[in-house]
Structure 1
Amino acid sequence: MEPEKILNISVDCVVFGYDINTKSLNVLLINRFLESEDKKEVLVNDYVLTGYHVYKNETLDDTATRVLKELTGLTNQYKKQFKAFGDPDRLMNPKDIIWIKNEAFHLRTTTIAYYFLLKTEDVNLKNNKNKAKWFPVNNLPEVGFDHEQIILEAYEDLKVKCLSKPIIFKLLPDKFTINDVQDLYESILGIEIDNRNFRRKLINKKYIIALDEKQVGVSKKPAQLYMFSKDIYDKMFQKNYLISI
């Protein structure tokens, strides 16, 4: 028996993933598709965030974790609750009304928004039942509800947080090059960074550990690999992480 839902409270999850090959910060969206009963007319065909009603026996964090697991199969990823969206007209677009009537949602639903950080390579989308797909955060498709606004506000929060907390390492492989870190910052912030200055600053941070390894399978000269040590960071800096770019 399915747990009882709170019909006017939902959680929506902005799942950010970084593709180290294309150097693109992406967001994971699902296809929202609805045909007329005679299946001759497509009524709704766009993309939305993954979200769901909160169960009465759940905390908001529980709901967000459940939504992510159902979408990606992953747990224990970095997540942040960043804002509630409750404008009276947030679900009043004609396509949204068609969808809500079909799904028997509450027209006045307040959603609590979270964002997650993970690596695109960790998500297998081959047999995803929701037809989930990665889109570059700066090149979104047609997005339903007020989800484009939610995505953009999550993105702005990420831009601020990545300069004050070491969260970008959640988007990178365990072993990375200095250029990988720079590429990620440039992708998130939308700026160009001076390579020599950035490299010097990053290498001097004690929580960036040089490994006795280099890249493999590259055509150019292999670069030195590094790792981020959360243990060293926690001991040295606690909450005082600032990166100067």
Structure 2
Amino acid sequence: MSLIQNRKVEIIPNISVDCVIFGFDNTTKSLNVLLIERVLKLENTKDAIVNDYVLKGFHTYENETIDDTANRVLKELTGLDNLYKKQFNVFGDPNRLKNEKDVIWAESEHFSERTITIAYYILLPTDIVQLENQYNPQWFPVNQLPELGFDHEKIIAEAYADLKEDALSKPIVFELLADKFTIKDLQDAYEAILGVEIDNRNFRRKLITKKYIIALDEKQTGVSKKPSQLYMFSKDVYQKIYKESYLINI
């Protein structure tokens, strides 16, 4: 075995990747963010000197691309891969980790206080994530976030702003839904992202004319009210007819 094969893979100490994982909850009709608890206790006591929530992230390994690191974050936190993700910004303010709690945390974890973070956001339906793992992740509504560590409030805010802009010109809303959905599910997802109410009839009229939204010979099951028609999004059809035009106009 060569010396290169024997060499331990090292992290790049001042480059990290944070992932804002957005999930749409079709039961509560809310857009949520997946966070983990950050707790640091004094030695031999139960007192926590750091107790808040953060995005999950990792330092990049020397042999990884930045995309590889983002995929690793997603896989370790959710067990999933091959989901929609977008690199939307880089956060490198020299003072971004200078808060007292962040300094304490960085020292305990041997992190560099001058860390540059490449940020991604990822889209998925909340019900495909198993929350029982070593990180104990929790979903929080994007507009009702808990106390956050580092500059993660800023990172989430910028991710959300980017998502809202892209949702009006790209078909990324379908990444938040099941493969089969109702027009009402689609409307609920748009309303959760955009934070507005959409007129039902106008929305339905506009959406059902889109050739890439395919009506299925199926209806909802297990509902108490009259079951609604199910649809699917055809990426193939979309790519064939795509042009620069908004999916919906608010």
| TM-score of the pair, normalised by structure 2 | 0.95
Q: Distance in 2 between matches of 1:57 and 1:10?
A: 14
1:62 Cα offset (Å) = 0.6
User: 2:191–2:198: 8 Å Cα contact kept in structure 1?
Assistant: yes
Q: Distance in 2 between matches of 1:197 and 1:39?
A: 60
User: 2:203–2:248: 8 Å Cα contact kept in structure 1?
Assistant: no
Partner residue, 2:55: 49
Determine if the alignment matches structure 1 residue 38 to structure 2 residue 44. yes
CA-to-aligned-CA distance 1:35-94 (integer Å, 9 cap, x gap) = 111124211111000001111111111110011101101110000000000111100111
In structure 1, runs of 5+ residues without a counterpart are none
Partner residue, 2:112: 106
Partner residue, 2:169: 164
Runs of 4+ in 1 over 6 A off after TM superposition: none
User: 2:85–2:122: 8 Å Cα contact kept in structure 1?
Assistant: yes
Partner residue, 2:214: 209
CA-to-aligned-CA distance 1:200-220 (integer Å, 9 cap, x gap) = 000000001001111111111
Partner residue, 2:195: 190
Which is worse superposed, 35-44 or 177-186? 35-44
Determine if the alignment matches structure 1 residue 142 to structure 2 residue 151. no
Partner residue, 2:34: 28
Determine if the alignment matches structure 1 residue 115 to structure 2 residue 124. no
| Aligned residue-pair number | 244
* Pick aligned residue for 2:65 from 59, 62, 74: 59
Q: What is the one-letter code of the residue matched to 1:205?
A: K
CA-to-aligned-CA distance 1:125-183 (integer Å, 9 cap, x gap) = 12x10111000000000100000110010000000000111000000011100011111
1:244 Cα offset (Å) = 1.9
Q: What SS does structure 1 have at the residue aligned with 2:135?
A: coil
Q: What is the one-letter code of the residue matched to 2:183?
A: I
In structure 2, runs of 5+ residues without a counterpart are 1-6
Which is worse superposed, 231-240 or 188-197? 231-240
